Amino acid sequence: MAASDRPTAPVTTDRDRETTGETMDRVSFRVPDRQLEDLDALVDRGRYPNRSEAIRAAVRQLVGESSAAPRGEDRE
């Protein structure tokens, strides 16, 4: 399913907070269609339950890698 064809869920409840117990901020960003399609494929294959969890996993990995690097080496 192409990213543009994927239905969007109405925002009625903060399900992420209900499942994790953590408060979370909503972040909006732009991503190329191809990357979004690849992300959706991970969700469709069951690797992640939804886009949000896939993106959180990527952020956790990025932050973990950055914090493991000596200071000054992770910034451009």
Domain borders along the chain are 30-76
What's the CA gap between 21 and 43, in Å, rounded? 22
Per DSSP, the three-state class of 66 is helix
Per DSSP, the three-state class of 75 is coil
To the question of pTM greater than 0.85 for the whole model, the response is no
As given in the structure block, the two tokens for residue 52 are 């949000």
| pLDDT tens digits, one per residue of 57-75 | 999 999 988 887 776 665 5
Query: Is 2's pLDDT higher than 70?
Result: no
Residue 27's pLDDT is 93
Per DSSP, the three-state class of 70 is coil
